[in-house]
Amino acid sequence: MSSPGHNVAHQFDDAVQQRDASTLGMWVFLVTEVMMFGGLFATYVLYRSAYPEAFAAASHHLNAQLGAMNTLVLLGSSLTMALAVRSAQHGARFGTVAGLLSTIALGSVFLGVKAYEYAHKFEEKLVPGPYFVFDGPEGTHAELFFSLYFAMTGLHALHMVIGVGVLGTLAVMAARGRFSVAYHNPIEIGGLYWHFVDIVWIYLFPLLYLLGRH
């Protein structure tokens, strides 16, 4: 029988129960995230089916190269995150910290590129609202596209920002030797979150950037 260690909170019997509970907790949280993005995806599906031409025309104003590059950056960050988790599972402190820091770095690159894209949209007056200007047919429907573009990528970017903060905290904890082979669950949980954010982008990229490119 395992006795509660110093890393086991009082409400848990042992480390296994704690690990299972927090892992399940994160998965359940991700379900809520799926549903939240699901509301946006439902909106997207409805309007895209109603206004296919306007959506395609509006999509051409997004920079597919930057989008593709950002996709690769984010996939890379998922790899470094997975490597960090693997290092933590093996109790390798340096590998864990290095993996987390690389993930943070790649995440920041993604956010930087996103910020550049946003700034560009401001210059092109493609930010929905009173100053929106779209040169083409069905400007209001293109505005719908950009409303959804900003809502979806904005919510995604917000998740990235939170993720960078979480991973930063984990990196500090890891550097201080808080984790071990026996206790590294927080890193796995943080990893689950980061990978989920990656998955959202895997769908956002083709749905927003690659419409009607042919």
Partner 1 sequence: MDDARPAQRKLVNAMEPGASRTNYLNADYGLKSWLLTRDHKRIAILYLISITLMFLLGSFFAVLIRLELLTPHGDLVQGDTYNKLFTMHGIVMVFFFLVPSIPAVFGNFLLPLMIGARDLAFPRLNLLSWYVYVVGAAFTLWAVITGGVDTGWTFYTPYSTTASHTNVLTTAIGIFITGFSSILTGLNFIVTIHQMRAPGLTWFRLPLFVWAHYATSLIMILGTPVIAITIFLVGIERAFQLGIFDPALGGDPILFQHLFWFYSHPAVYIMILPSMGVVSEIITCFARKRIFGYEFIAVSSLAIALFGFLVWGHHMFTSTQSVYAALIFSVLSFAVAIPSAVKVFNWTATLYRGSISFEAPMLFALGFIGLFTIGGLTGLFLAALGLDVHVHDTYFVVAHFHYIMVGGALMGYLGAVHFWWPKMTGRMYSEWAARVSAVLVFVGFNLTFFPQFVLGYLGMPRRYHVYPDEFQVLNVMSTTGASILGVGYLVPLCYLIWSLWRGPIASANPWRAAGLEWKVASPPPTENFAQTPIVTEEAYSYPVREAEVV
Partner 2 sequence: MLQSLFPENASTIAGQVDALFFFMIAVSAFFGILIAVLVVVLSLRYRRRAGTADDVAGEAVHGSTALEVAWTGIPFAIAMVMFYWGASVYMTMSRPPDDAHEIFVVGKQWMWKLQHLEGRREINELHVPIGQPVKLTMTSEDVIHSFYVPAFRLKSDVVPGRYSTLWFEPTKVGTYHLFCAEYCGTEHSLMIGRVIVMEPNDFQAWLSEDPQAVAHGAAAAGSPRERGAGLFAEKGCVTCHKSESSAMGPKLAGIVGRERTFADGSTAVADLAYLRESILNPREKIVAGYEAVMPTFQGQIDEEGLLALIEYIRSLRGEESGDVEGSDG
Partner 3 sequence: MSHAVNPHSTPLATLIMVFLALVALTGLTVGVAYIDLGAWSTPVALLIATVKALLVVVIFMELRFGQPLTWLAAVTGVLFMALLIGLTMADVISRGWLGVPGR
Q: Is 175 in the site for partner 1 (CB under 8 A)?
A: no
In angstroms, what is the minimal distance from the CB of 115 to partner 3?
A: 22
CB of 58 to partner 2, least distance (A): 12
The answer to whether the beta carbons of residues 57 and 136 sit under 8 Å apart is: yes
Q: Which stretch binds partner 3 (CB under 8 A): 107-115, 118-126, 150-158, 178-186?
A: 178-186
C-alpha torsion sign, points 189, 190, 193, 196: negative
* HEC profile of 156-172: HHHHHHHHHHHHHHHHH
Give the distance, in angstroms, between the CA of residue 10 and the centroid of all CA atoms in the same chain.
32
Q: Classify residue 103 as exposed, middle or buried by CB count within 10 Å of its CB (0-12, 13-18, 19+).
A: buried
DSSP type of residue 3: P
Closer by beta carbon to partner 3, 132 or else 210: 210
- 55-88 b/e (C-beta count within 10 Å ≥ 16 → b): bbbbbebbbbeebeebbebbebbbebbebbbebb
Burial track 115-140 (b if 16+ CB lie within 10 A, e otherwise): eebbeebeeeebbbeeeeebeeebee
The nearest distance, CB 133 to partner 2, in angstroms, is: 15
Answer yes or no whether residue 12 interacts with partner 3 by CB under 8 A.
Answer: no
Structure tokens at 44: 């997207």
User: Encoding tokens for residue 212?
Assistant: 């009607």
Nearest distance from C-beta of residue 68 to partner 3, angstroms: 5
Q: How far is the CB of 25 from partner 1 (least distance, A)?
A: 5
Q: Report the residue number, 110 or 145, with the smaller CB distance to partner 1.
A: 145
Task: Please tell me the distance from the alpha carbon of residue 145 to that of residue 157, in angstroms, as a whole number.
Answer: 18
The entry of partner 2, partner 3, partner 1, none that residue 83 binds, CB within 5 to 8 Å by partner kind: partner 3
Choice between 28 and 45, CB closer to partner 2: 45
* 133: contact with partner 2 by CB under 8 A: no
Residues 114-153 contacting partner 1, CB under 8 A: 128-130, 138, 140-141, 143-144, 147-148, 151
Q: Which residues bind partner 3 (CB under 8 A)?
A: 2, 15-16, 19-20, 23-24, 27-28, 30-31, 34-35, 37-39, 41-42, 45-46, 49-50, 64, 68, 71-72, 75-76, 78-79, 81-83, 85-86, 89-90, 181-184, 188, 191-192, 195-196, 198-199, 202-203, 205-207, 210, 212-214
